[in-house]
Amino acid sequence: MSSGYSLGTVEVSSSPQERFADFLQSKGKRITQQRRILIDFVFKRHDHFDAEELILNLAQVPEGRKVSRPTVYRTLNELVDSGLLRRMNLRGRAIYEHDYGYPQHDHLHCTMCDKLIEFQSSELSDLLRAVAAEYDFRDTGHRLIISGICSACSATRHRRQTPLDLV
């Protein structure tokens, strides 16, 4: 076993905890009990989640009850700034996912069951890079969500009401 932090598929040089600590230090911010609780929570249990889910999960353990709602929101912003989390918008609210030690990927979003399926495509990255270049655009990232109906939902014909907005 290496000294690296294992993510199952990827091995990186430091844990999210360490990276967050570095980020905070570099900004003159403090490593508080709440921030420690939050980063542990976020990197232990969740894949895709929103603020409300996180808050509900926190409420289920004594440790978690030490963190207030505003602090959750404030810290989620810091985690995004630090590059540890990636934020996207689904049905009008922010959804977060790990963005550390994770390969770049995009999503298929099932509008029936709300499931997110990740996929990777280097062809896609190349294509987007080329598009940006064509417009002299300094590309700092992208969000792509393909909406539709996943195979499971296609089979079961479960209906869902709100088509509403994607992405």
Partner DNA sequence: CTTTATGCAAATATTTTGCATATAG
Partner DNA sequence: CTATATGCAAAATATTTGCATAAAG
Q: What is the nearest approach in angstroms of a second copy to the Cβ of residue 136?
A: 4
Contacts of residue 147, Cβ cutoff 8 Å, sequence gap at least 6: 108, 109, 111, 166, 167
Interaction partner, residue 69 (a second copy, DNA, none; CB < 5-8 Å by kind): DNA
Interaction partner, residue 71 (a second copy, DNA, none; CB < 5-8 Å by kind): DNA
Interaction partner, residue 75 (DNA, a second copy, none; CB < 5-8 Å by kind): DNA
Q: How far is CA 86 from each of CA 48, 101, 163, rounded to the nearest angstrom?
A: 10, 12, 25
Residue 114's nearest CA partner among 45, 49, 43 is: 49
Q: What is the nearest approach in angstroms of DNA to the Cβ of residue 41?
A: 13
The answer to whether residues 103 and 120 touch, using CB atoms and an 8 Å cutoff, is yes
**Complex with a second copy: residue 6 or 154, whichever CB lies closer:** 154
Structure tokens at 79: 């985690």
Residue 106's nearest CA partner among 97, 80, 6, 78 is: 97
Structure tokens at 158: 């479960």
Q: What is the nearest approach in angstroms of a second copy to the Cβ of residue 157?
A: 12
**Complex with a second copy: residue 1 or 164, whichever CB lies closer:** 164
Chain contacts with DNA (rule: CB under 7 A): 24, 28-35, 50-52, 66-71, 73-75, 77, 92-94, 164
Please state the residue numbers annotated as binding site for Zn(2+).
110, 113, 150, 153
Please state the residue numbers annotated as binding site for Fe cation.
106, 142
